[in-house]
Structure 1
């Protein structure tokens, strides 16, 4: 039976295994021999197949990648561009640069070099990102017409130690701080040079739906808010300039300022809950007619 086994390598493996002392009982037990032979065949096929595949992959010659060949036209174009960059920016000569050009007048070489650098920078600089929508900031208390203010929503303040305002608005519905152009102009007349910068236009939307564009932002060095506990000093307070209001001196401090000072919705509600669990608000409604 052993002589009928194939391939020859498997036949030699079986003979070597049967020659072992532990496998000699298989010579007398045909059923046990068949089971053992079947298991040996499976093991041989499992490992020998992988071994043959590995040998074939090792002996198979690797394909060589063709060397990249730069077309002569591309090389010529590159050389031509290099020669063009090295020519004189004034007369186009390859024998000298623009700083040594006899035709260039005083200051012309520097101007040509600066123009060349700007053009080169434009070619290499990335394209600008797509324009995004102009952000809209909401300011509920800012308005051009006279409207009564809520009680407790304003306070007195002293700006830059030179100007007293009777009503600085604390607007919990405002996203940003806003100062009227009239206020900024008056401070400038008083000798105060506010730090300011011009940025991408933003939009201010009031509670009645009016929308105004702002593009100038100033920064107040000091704002002293008057309180019953004494003056409260705010430093480096930024504010957008409301250009449409040129007569009045208006300053609106936003919700972010109020939250920074500790005025949060949760704190108000928690304090009210500690005072009493139930509130009757009927007296806050409009007066009954008749």
Structure 2
């Protein structure tokens, strides 16, 4: 049994139905047999086994670095182009906003608190009604507890 402080690497070791972990069986790099590994191969010298293992390691490292090339690095000095198709310019009771979840066909829409604060600063009277027991669920795991409902007289989408 391993000491309590020993680290055990179980990557690549599939679990069996009984839950124990066994090393994944790979074939010999020399003869492709699954009965033994390259360092135990009767057809392979120790020098050749070392070379085959080194080449395998180099191929794996090369593939690992290729995957990293798929990511783009953001240059903070360059201006980013936006392909935003989810927001619209709108006016709520005469206040210009960028709406992210505004749906003119829905009975209710989610409006950010900042929109309400901007409207209040302009002197717009808001009809705020407290509510309880309403929770909105997003596509992720988070939920939003709704504490108030505001009714607007006019919502205009600017197209």
TM range (shorter): 0.3 to 0.5
**Whose helix proportion is higher, 1 or 2?**
1
How does the TM-score come out when normalised to structure 2? 0.41
Compute the TM-score of the two structures, normalised by the length of structure 1: 0.24
The structure having more radius of gyration, on CA atoms, is 1
